[in-house]
Amino acid sequence: MNLYVFPVAPNPTKVRLYLAEKAAGGAKIQLAEVMVDLREGEQKRPEHLSRNPFGKLPVLELDDGTHLIESLAIIEYLEECHPDPPMIGSDAMDRARVREVERIAELGVLFPVAHIVHATNSPLGLAPIPEMAAYFRGVLPRALGVLDRLLAPGRPFVAGDRPTIADCTLQAAFQFARFGKVEIDPSFENLARWDRDYRARPVAKAVLSL
Ligand SMILES: N[C@@H](CCC(=O)N[C@@H](CS)C(=O)NCC(=O)O)C(=O)O
């Protein structure tokens, strides 16, 4: 299998963190990472459009030549093929909670952060849209507050006592915020602690560049 990615881009980073966590836990997922340079627009070239008609990353190319083109679908597929260590919980309620927190991280943090970055200083060269940046700056604290409260009892990871896909999505968002100079309000002290501790782990260091 091939995984088409680009460093720091949040959706590829989410999958790369997931793979690093799985490998650290002993899973043997055989795939090669292939870079598609977003700064050069390689994602819009015919070669990549034949993998993903939306011209986006990540893409997982399976050994039969077919493709998965959504980051969460890629993670869910790999998790079903390699259930240990569990990264989406280990019973029905646990899985529901992990998915719940992951969706909050994606829709409430990653999505607003990505829109602020692209509306202010887009690495893809998109035109600035100040009203969009202002709107998403207003939206962002709500999910940050929810996640901060989840971490308040001293939880090491955002969905419990061990890393899950919710941490992968949230850290992918935080790295993109660092890249795009989007401030994550430091008064969310539990999130700041989680961010510091998560990034200090060798697994995270192997993937993150910012
Ligand atoms: N919903 C998709 C979003 C994919 C996405 O937006 N990828 C970005 C990188 S984080 C991309 O490839 N952007 C390039 C472009 O829009 O030209 C997923 O979760 O995989």
Q: Is 141 exposed, middle or buried (0-12, 13-18, 19+ CB in 10 A)?
A: middle
User: Does residue 71 have its Cβ closer than 6 Å to ligand 1?
Assistant: yes
Whether the model clears a pTM of 0.85, i.e. scores above it, the answer is: yes
Which domain range does residue 137 map to? 92-204
Both 127 and 152 in one domain: the answer is yes
144-195 residue pLDDT tens: 999 999 999 899 999 999 999 999 999 999 999 999 999 999 999 999 999 9
Q: What is the per-residue DSSP string for 5-45?
A: E-TT-HHHHHHHHHHHHHHHTT-----EEEE--GGGTGGGS
Number of compact structural domains in the chain: 2
User: Does residue 57 have its Cβ closer than 6 Å to ligand 1?
Assistant: yes
Q: What does the pLDDT read at residue 91? A: 96
Average pLDDT over all residues of the chain: 98
Q: 53, 81, 109: which is the final residue of a domain?
A: 81
Q: What does the pLDDT read at residue 66? A: 98
Report the CATH number at residue 62: 3.40.30.10
Rounded to the nearest 10°, the torsion over CA 3, 75, 153, 187 is 50
Confidence category of residue 116, pLDDT binned at 50, 70, 90: very high
Residue 12 CA to ligand 1 centre (angstroms): 8
Report the CATH number at residue 189: 1.20.1050.10
Residue 7 CA to ligand 1 centre (angstroms): 12
User: Does residue 70 have its Cβ closer than 6 Å to ligand 1?
Assistant: yes
Both 106 and 157 in one domain: the answer is yes
Residue 196 falls inside a structural domain: yes
d(CA 148, CA 27): 30
Strand-by-strand arrangement of the 59-61 sheet: 32-35, 2-5, 59-61, 67-68
